[in-house]
Structure 1
């Protein structure tokens, strides 16, 4: 298959989880014999020192400056067997319309932010997706499963909404023999709606447990946050260092955005990556989590600071081992690539699709 992907970023993992998601998925997809072209918008915040993948060996990575420059790639888009447009692509609505006009193969929207996207649409915020173009995509690939898939088809006219969760590359994420540096760690970009949970389940715990060590890795945290002395801050952790970070943690924390908690069935890539490293995970709660990892045997759910303090006294290595086995069996990049092959077999030349393509 000749596949073209227009995504937020493949070359830079700085401040976004899209890059690691695309890297794992497309590496596995390329290994299945497919030819992949990834087109990324050239933007200053993902350039220079923030670019941590220059020349991938599993696909061709190219950049375009603006919509006019994107036209250089019209022959590849037209000739592709499938074209995917990702969420948060700059001028994503215009990019989507262009793809729907030019592509002769299957077209797909890959929403790595489905609950956030739907909340934006409800507010009339069409930053990267307009409801009017959803029927023009043959398939809506969603990071969120469960009832949201029915809603995408029923309320937004998607011909086919399919779950395509994030995944993990077992070659990059596995246990490493390193010393334990932290009792509890967290890896994630700052988010207003995640911060109260991070405060409750890590920062407050650090204050109550000064004898223990903690770490928070990720960019964009405001300067005014009062970090306890026993919390180590790491501004940016490249994907190549993620496995060592998790392996050096006795436990790691999973914190979910509010929109994703409300929608449920929205596992983050960090959940799978930490599990693949065999690190026991403490998590907040959301619907559908029990279909991915089982509380008490594969993950530990916590609501309060006291819950976390009690967990930190445990030896939970067996939980980390069980989570690793479950994730490698069901959420590896190769498993997800096989699912993508099946989803891209969907093609619907419906009147709605043809009408969208003509606009």
Structure 2
């Protein structure tokens, strides 16, 4: 089976959540007999922080512009079983036209940013990765977000069939690791800077740091402004490569998960970072959002905080109590949220979306 993807990036994990998810999914699909060809526009900001140059289990096509790659893309589509365009693909409109003109593959759209898509739609902002017909012409629309987002994709953007394909983690990459002293902390956080989650970060990390000057807090993430609020016991790391994430999680007593406001408000949108931390056995503290309890059991597999006092209470738990939470979360992830599990889900969803073959009539 062959899948052709026109996406944002798989080659660079800098400043985006797509790349790590795609790497795990491509490896898992390969184990199931799939060949994945990933088309990615070669843009300077990802080229400057590239941490993957080839797909061992597939083919990475880096191209300078759509005109230069259109012919090659058409040739790959000619023998593909499924063709997919993703959210924030720089050439999403052009790729969609090419995909829909290809008669052989199943036509798929995967929105890995559904809350952002719907928020922009509500605000009247342009969706540069969607054409004028929205999602109406795709055989199936996959969404990183479940719940009411699926209805919105159907009602607002015309999706005929909208189903969730949630985040996941590759346990071969994210697993318990030895701690490193440069990452040591009592509460840690990994995330690309976004203004709409700063209020939650302030309440759940910055204010606890002010109140507990004897503790150490660590923030890692691309694009954090130099003027980020904090105190003397908050330490910043710029971009942290995926290979260092397990050691980062292992070096802190507790790690924080804060989704963007649109994700938290819509619910049913667990981040890849959440699964990564849990797969590493790290106890996770998260703000509360609808649907979270479908992925982890609050109080047993994850700790919830609705404000600063809850975050301080979590920091006051003993090491043994935190280890129990981390171990339970890791067990849940390995059972339900691995890349292998999502690859099987994807395969089943694609099979269900294929039109049934015509029934032969007897002469």
- TM-score, scaled relative to structure 1: 0.93
- Equivalent runs, 1:264-275 vs 2, <5 Å: 264-275=267-278
Q: What CA distance in whole angstroms lies between the structure 2 residues aligned with 1:169 and 1:176?
A: 14
Residue 162 (structure 1) aligns with? 163
Residue 152 (structure 1) aligns with? 153
Q: 4+ runs of 1 displaced by more than 4 Å?
A: none
Residue 340 (structure 2) aligns with? 334
How far the C-alpha of 1:152 sits from its partner, in A, is: 2.1
Q: Please state whether the residue corresponding to 1:194 is helix, strand or coil.
A: helix
Residue 201 (structure 1) aligns with? 204
Residue 359 (structure 2) aligns with? none
Question: 1:138–1:348: 8 Å Cα contact kept in structure 2?
Answer: no
2:226 matches 1:210? no
Question: 1:206–1:213: 8 Å Cα contact kept in structure 2?
Answer: yes
Q: Please state whether the residue corresponding to 2:310 is helix, strand or coil.
A: helix
Q: What CA distance in whole angstroms lies between the structure 2 residues aligned with 1:129 and 1:83?
A: 15
How far the C-alpha of 1:87 sits from its partner, in A, is: 0.8
How far the C-alpha of 1:223 sits from its partner, in A, is: 1.9
Residue 3 (structure 2) aligns with? 3
How far the C-alpha of 1:151 sits from its partner, in A, is: 3.0
Q: What CA distance in whole angstroms lies between the structure 2 residues aligned with 1:107 and 1:229?
A: 52
Q: Please state whether the residue corresponding to 1:136 is helix, strand or coil.
A: coil
- Equivalent runs, 1:292-331 vs 2, <5 Å: 292-315=295-318, 316-331=322-337
How far the C-alpha of 1:55 sits from its partner, in A, is: 1.9
- Equivalent runs, 1:94-243 vs 2, <5 Å: 94-102=94-102, 104-124=104-124, 125-130=126-131, 132-178=133-179, 181-243=184-246
Q: What CA distance in whole angstroms lies between the structure 2 residues aligned with 1:243 and 1:101?
A: 43
Post-superposition Cα deviations, 1:308-340, rounded to whole Å, max 9, x if no partner, equal 112111121111111111111000000000011
Residue 265 (structure 2) aligns with? 262
Q: Please state whether the residue corresponding to 1:236 is helix, strand or coil.
A: coil
Q: What CA distance in whole angstroms lies between the structure 2 residues aligned with 1:103 and 1:47?
A: 33
Q: What CA distance in whole angstroms lies between the structure 1 residues aligned with 2:211 and 2:22?
A: 39
User: Please, which moves more after superposition, 72-81 or 182-191?
Assistant: 72-81
Q: Number of matched residues?
A: 348
Question: 2:136–2:158: 8 Å Cα contact kept in structure 1?
Answer: yes
Post-superposition Cα deviations, 1:138-181, rounded to whole Å, max 9, x if no partner, equal 11110001122233234432121110011100111111132671
CA 179–220 in structure 1, closer or farther in 2 if over 3 Å, else same: closer
2:286 to 283, 287, 295: 283
- In structure 1, runs of 5+ residues without a counterpart are 350-359
Residue 355 (structure 1) aligns with? none
Q: What CA distance in whole angstroms lies between the structure 1 residues aligned with 2:292 and 2:171?
A: 21
Relative contact order, higher structure (CA 8 A, sep 6+): 1
